[in-house]
Amino acid sequence: MKLAADLHVHTIASTHAYSTITEIARHAADIGLSAVAITDHGIALEDSPHIWHFEIMKSLPRELFGVRLLMGVEANVQKGGTLDMPERILKQLDWVVASMHKSTAVMDSPADVTEAWLKVIDNPLVDLLGHIGTPRYVCDYEAVVKACAEKHKLIEINANTFRVRPESAGNCRKVAELCRRYEVPVCVDSDAHFHLHVGQPGGAGEMLEEIGFPEELILNASYDRLLAYLQNRPSR
């Protein structure tokens, strides 16, 4: 699988990642990517940058080495579906991933997880639901995917999940099959914490190929599809 963009990437601003924006953009250019989204963790997570990091992103270049830079965040979903980032910041950013992490999303049951995702899907400032196959956060996947179809939200198939959370593979496959059924576009992202991992679809790409997932539903396999999404989304 060949990607045109990687829409979930971490820099040294997330303190358990190891590369700079410049290193990420240079590598993205070397492997032929057209765009990359810089999505460091939202402010509730222990390794997150200061909120000033997100406020000042608007001063960064829009392109490096011929690669378009999308300034974004991996916001943390909290119980009830609220996000840990102020709305005024989200409105300034190009790209918003919403994900659940164990220290910021304390859920009591799959019903809690489902309720939270449905609230996130209602948020007009969220673009992408991140790594929803994580076993800690099992939910009613069909309800979530159907809501994404209705509200025109994207679902991520996360390559890093297949490296660091291999027990997620079955859930990810289930989510992908539902996305195919309900024609929900997905993004195949590296969730890279080191620049040499940027643009690598890994096990996520292999799984989608195994199930015959339609290429036209992989948003970031085409730069033109990504541009069309960015230009037409009602939230911006």
> What percent of the chain is modeled with pLDDT above 90?
93
Nearest CA among 155, 170, 154, 180 for reference residue 203: 170
- Looking at residue 103, its pLDDT comes to 83
Residues in a beta bridge with 36:
6, 69
- Looking at residue 235, its pLDDT comes to 60
49-104 per-position pLDDT tens digit: 999 999 999 999 999 999 999 999 999 999 999 999 999 999 999 999 999 998 89
Residue at 234: amino acid letter: P
Q: Which helix (H) or strand (E) holds 74?
A: strand 67-76
Residue 15 burial (CB count, 10 A): 14
Residue 46 burial (CB count, 10 A): 10
- Return the CA Rg of the chain: 16
Residue 222 burial (CB count, 10 A): 17
Calpha distance 227→94 (Å, rounded):
12
Is pLDDT above 80 for 234?
no
- Looking at residue 106, its pLDDT comes to 84
Instruction: Count Cβ atoms within 10 A of the Cβ of residue 16 and give its class: 0-12 exposed, 13-18 middle, 19 or more buried.
Output: exposed
Per DSSP, the three-state class of 60 is coil
- Looking at residue 236, its pLDDT comes to 61
- Looking at residue 202, its pLDDT comes to 95
Residues in a beta bridge with 128:
97, 154
157-207 per-position pLDDT tens digit: 999 999 988 899 999 999 999 999 999 999 999 999 999 999 999 999 999
Which pTM was predicted? 0.97
- Looking at residue 8, its pLDDT comes to 98
- Domains for the chain: give ranges and CATH numbers: 5-232 (3.20.20.140)
2-20 per-position pLDDT tens digit: 999 999 999 999 999 999 9
